[in-house]
Amino acid sequence: MAGKFDQTAADIIQLVGGKKNVVSLTHCVTRLRFVLKDKSKANHEALSSVQYVIKVQQVGEQLQVVVGNKVDRIYEAILETQGISGSGEVEPDDETTSTNKSVFYRLMDVISGILVPTLGVLTAAGIIKGVTSFLALENIGILDPTSGLYMLLYAIGDGFYYFLPIILGLTAARKFKTNEFIGLAIGASFVYPAMVNISKTMEVLGVVFEGTKFQMAFYNTLFGIPVIMPGAGYTGSVFPVIVAVFIASKIEKWCKNHITENLRGILTPVITLILTVFVSYLFIGPILNSVAVVIQIIIEALFNIPVIGGLIAGAIIGGGFGVLVLFGMHWVIIGLALNLIAQNGFDYIMACGGIGPMIGMFQGLAICWACRKNKKVRELAIPATISQICGVGEPLMYSMLVPMKKLFLINILGGCVGGAIIGLLKTKMYLFGGSGLFGIFNYAGGGGSADIMKYLVGIAVGGIFTIVATLITYNDEEATRILK
């Protein structure tokens, strides 16, 4: 029996040039992401007319087909009916390498390809953790932090973030086409309890870069080289395990090409794991920790410029994040924010960027009110706004804001206004989880609800500006003409 989305799946694959033209296929919250052998074979105009397709765009080497909240079911229909195998990748017949891609695109592609598969559960865990933390705040007092309910809920929410390196070890291994269990083992080595708790079980043997912000203690050595463990450890971190698995993929490939077939099955994982984990703890981890410190110093210096620092930074991030989402390039920023949260317990960047979904929500509501007598526009605005309230902004962005350019500009300006307030107040985000209304709970932490209140002030100012500007700008006749 044919499924509801089978025809859509067939049409999409046909119009991207057929199965043989697909190098890989992944998806995020709202869009199918194709890498094609020959981009010229994709018929963008015809794809845009396929049922459920909202928008088609080429971003670097990636063809993005935006289909909204139905993306997972359409993706599954493609896998089931079109012969796309396993994780959504078709092995190329020849060497379709990425050597012609820009460095930035390759970085974006790698980070999004590794993080996107975790998105559904990452968001769910974030919502659970955020709501649980909020209800347990002392000035809220709804949930007792010593109760069994709190313990179990927090274990669900925090457990995912704590063991994130293991999960990313798996998705990174898939991205770099290496043994998935090697990726899992590398991730596990980063969060092994004896290493995480090393500062509690061993005496400090020495300190590198003592007296600076790069100061790191070590508790043991390997061949005379300090084995450094950051104060926050590697739990919840992103980039160390990604770099480690990338290196492991190269070592594994070398082993398979140089070790005799009789010993390859045993020696390859042994050599790969030992070399990778040694290099990770001795070099990769400390270097990336230092990079994170540099980024944090730059961010804090910008935010600490008297009066205007946080204002400018917040405006740029708050207004610019929606533009990054438009092109699917926001995962680099999210990856950075996750790493800073893991290292410092909070982040300023996504604290400002988190205003975007709320600005979209206010704008969607304003459009729904303004077009209440226009059935055609209303049929687009209402479902898109509901999606936006739940944190998925692409349907509203692509179906209404981008076509009506003035509304998209207002969306950017609303983000600038709200982000400027959030940055001025030096608001901190403590986890990256839910979006839209659920995003409020990302700011629960730091011992109280102060950052939630700061975020709400930014939302209020940015939201009022957005509603007023949208109601003034929106024109029913123009909307009817543009939104064909």
Under 8 Å between Cβ of 32 and 54: no
Structural domain boundaries in the chain: 6-101, 163-294, 308-482
Comparing 349 with 433, the larger pLDDT belongs to 349
pLDDT for res 99: 47
**394-398 own/partner pairs: CB under 8 Å, 24+ apart:** 394/29, 394/30, 394/31, 394/54, 394/55, 394/66, 394/68, 394/325, 395/30, 395/54, 395/68, 395/69, 396/360, 396/363, 396/364, 397/322, 397/325, 397/326, 397/360, 398/54, 398/55, 398/66
Q: Tens of pLDDT along 76-88?
A: 888 888 877 655 5
Please give, one letter per residue, the 3-state secondary structure of 178-224.
Answer: CCHHHHHHHHHHHCCHHHHCHHHHCCCCEEECCCCCCCEEEEEEECC
Percent of the chain with pLDDT over 90: 28
When the pLDDT of each residue in the chain is averaged and rounded to a whole number, the result is: 85
Q: Tens of pLDDT along 103-143?
A: 666 777 788 788 878 877 887 888 888 888 888 877 677 88
Closest Cα partner for 119 from 86, 190, 153, 71? Answer: 71
The residue written with tokens 């290099």 in the block is 279
Rounded Cα distance, 92 and 451, in Å: 49
Number of continuous H segments (helices) and E segments (strands) in the chain: 22, 7
Name the token pair of 365.
């509501």
pLDDT at 100 over 70: no
Closest Cα partner for 167 from 242, 97, 103, 220? Answer: 242
Under 8 Å between Cβ of 361 and 389: yes
- Residue 216: which region, alpha, beta or left (left: phi > 0; alpha: psi -120 to 50)? beta
Name the amino acid, one letter, at 93: D
Rounded Cα distance, 175 and 245, in Å: 10
The residue written with tokens 């109760």 in the block is 147
Residues facing 22 on adjacent strands: 36
DSSP assignment of 231-275 equals TT-STT-SHHHHHHHHHHHHHHHHHHHHS-HHHHHHHHHHHHHHH
**53-59 own/partner pairs: CB under 8 Å, 24+ apart:** 53/8, 53/12, 54/30, 54/394, 54/395, 54/398, 54/399, 55/394, 55/398, 55/399, 55/402, 57/327, 59/105, 59/327, 59/328, 59/329
Closest Cα partner for 91 from 30, 157, 17, 35? Answer: 35
Q: pLDDT band at residue 484, thresholds of 50, 70 and 90?
A: low
Q: Tens of pLDDT along 29-71?
A: 678 888 888 888 888 888 888 888 888 888 777 888 988 778 8
The pLDDT of 443-462, averaged and rounded, is 88
Closest Cα partner for 378 from 389, 367, 391, 362? Answer: 367
Q: pLDDT band at residue 439, thresholds of 50, 70 and 90?
A: confident
Under 8 Å between Cβ of 169 and 241: yes
Domain 6-101 has CATH 3.40.50.300: no
Name the token pair of 49.
């007319």
pLDDT for res 49: 87
Most confidently modeled of 53-57, 247-251, 356-360?
247-251
Q: Tens of pLDDT along 412-428?
A: 999 999 999 999 999 99
